[in-house]
Amino acid sequence: MGLLDDAKKAIGLGKAKKVENPKSKKSKKSAKEIATEKGKPYVEVVKLELDPNNPGSGAFELDWNEEFIKHLWKAGYKDDNEHDTVDRWFTNLCRNIALETWEKEQAMVTQKNDLGDGRTEYK
């Protein structure tokens, strides 16, 4: 029970009811529909599944529009079907992110000193 329901019950008004806004009955366009109407590329992660026994493993479910596929084709990602095209792009994106993170970590470590007792100093 929400705070408003508690307050109404305390003063004897019963349960609160949500009042529908008449404008909310109109169907709102999704971000994908808006991008598609504007002729702009659209891609979104719609689902993420993680292996409960190995959280480093999992899968992403992506949604995209035709403009996104055309964008990838222009960038050189052309495969037999659009699923393979998006998969190759996403794999490349993840690889680049991982490589960039690794390079930054390597650049931060200029000197590593073993201090003993399981301790390490990084300069």
pLDDT (tens digit, 9 = 90+) per residue, 15-58?
444 445 555 556 799 999 999 999 999 999 999 999 999 988 99
Residue 7 lies in a domain: no
**Residue 73 in this model has a pLDDT that exceeds 90:** yes
- Return the exposure string of 68-102: e unless at least 16 CB atoms fall within 10 Å of the residue's CB, then b: bbebbeeeebeeeebeebbeebeeeeeeeeeeeee
How many structural domains are present in the chain? 1
Q: Domain span at residue 80?
A: 31-122
Residue 47 lies in a domain: yes
Provide the whole-model pTM.
0.62
Instruction: Please give the Cα distance from 53 to 94 (Å, whole number).
Output: 22
Positive/negative CA dihedral, 33, 34, 36, 40: negative
